[in-house]
Chain A
């Protein structure tokens, strides 16, 4: 699990390094816990994750009231900075914080592209975890389901 977190952190670091006016990038779970982040400014990742999650949930609730399934992005503009929030798969969200020099279209574009990369990294990590689980000897495997455990016990009993 931590593999994808490290990969995501590296990816976010590259993004913040690449884009001069992008100050911070934060990936967090939908329940408001930080997963990975990179920033050129000081941010309180824990508190900010909770607020980002709350904002996107409210955005979704508001979009539903207007007849949509979810909102695509939430944007907040302050005097100094612009924050863009976007869903990253089913369980996570990405927040990008840019200075006012970074145009809104660019910020939203970065958010969309970055989400694609992050979802790919997460899927890749899940795939690798499954592969390594399959490669293990049956005795070393973690029982994924009760059904699988019962099958294994039955098989071992028959072999005896």
Chain B
């Protein structure tokens, strides 16, 4: 009975359809698959065509790249084409519906979402049957392959190869260094790699490895194609359709400075008998997202030392945990830490003493500009430096107050958006964000901080369009 009830709505639709079945014309589709560059046919390509959520139908094109499907039920079809050496053309929509009386019929053109555009035309014959005609141009993909060797000239096995967007040549290289990679592959035991199925374009290629004892020496540096440690000196790879590019890289060896000093624990903050484990990390200013290049050290002593640090600007963070509290790590929350900016030059730095501060809750208040309606807001903080926890968030109370508990050391960007799903379309703009008398540039704050001032966020109510996101960063005047 239950299954009958389930079928009932289907039957109600199906019965009238069946009554008309004899009169409903069938659709057909004829097409050609071509190479988008020279227009030549792509022989033997395979085609998948699917009517909404039904089972897809698969056919192959003949040696002239031609295919034909007859006896199709009218409807909107989703068509994809695939052939070795080409980027897959996906989700071309093909309209093979029967126009309703009174509506216009004839030419319907539906462009595909991306890639070379497929041309689809549908004509309706005198019997009302749709005939589709389609040309699907396929774009020959590019491939980059090569070999990576270490500074000794030996194969660099199991190296991570990251392909980064090269953007237009006019854009500064630094803009791409913190972008997430487009593709990532590893080298094999011979140091060889291959990145295929690539869209034509401009790319940077970075060879790196998570420092691993016994394989990757501390002075081996993440190296861009062009034997560059710095992306500004890296060579771009320009690849066209169908190109097969060889890009070999020799890992650069470069000695660095050491950064060392004392770890000064806050008085009275260490439980008796506790073992404190401190991780000190230097996050390069230019590549906050690429953790691979962040030198770090662990210490359970009163001093720390990080070796082979390249000159440059870094964000130094120290996070201390009480590891005797729980050897399994479940309760090993940070108990104190610090953060500061540091510039490493051409000499070793021996007296970089770190005054560790207790971890605290971040209290704050969201207020609205004059004339704005105060609404509950969601306050989110997002870690900007590597090795800081991703994010945490909280909601304001009716007075606009909020608390984020035990914020671990790090640099965070603060954002606020309406708590209600209904209001997400309108994002109040940030007018000011300050801690005490201090303006927070780019809405970023460092934890732990000095002083007891709460975070004051003032929002305006000018509506912004677009998806909910972090408010636009403000630069200090």
- Decide whether A and B are members of one complex: no
Listed in ascending order, the chain A residues whose CB lies under 8 Å from chain B are: none
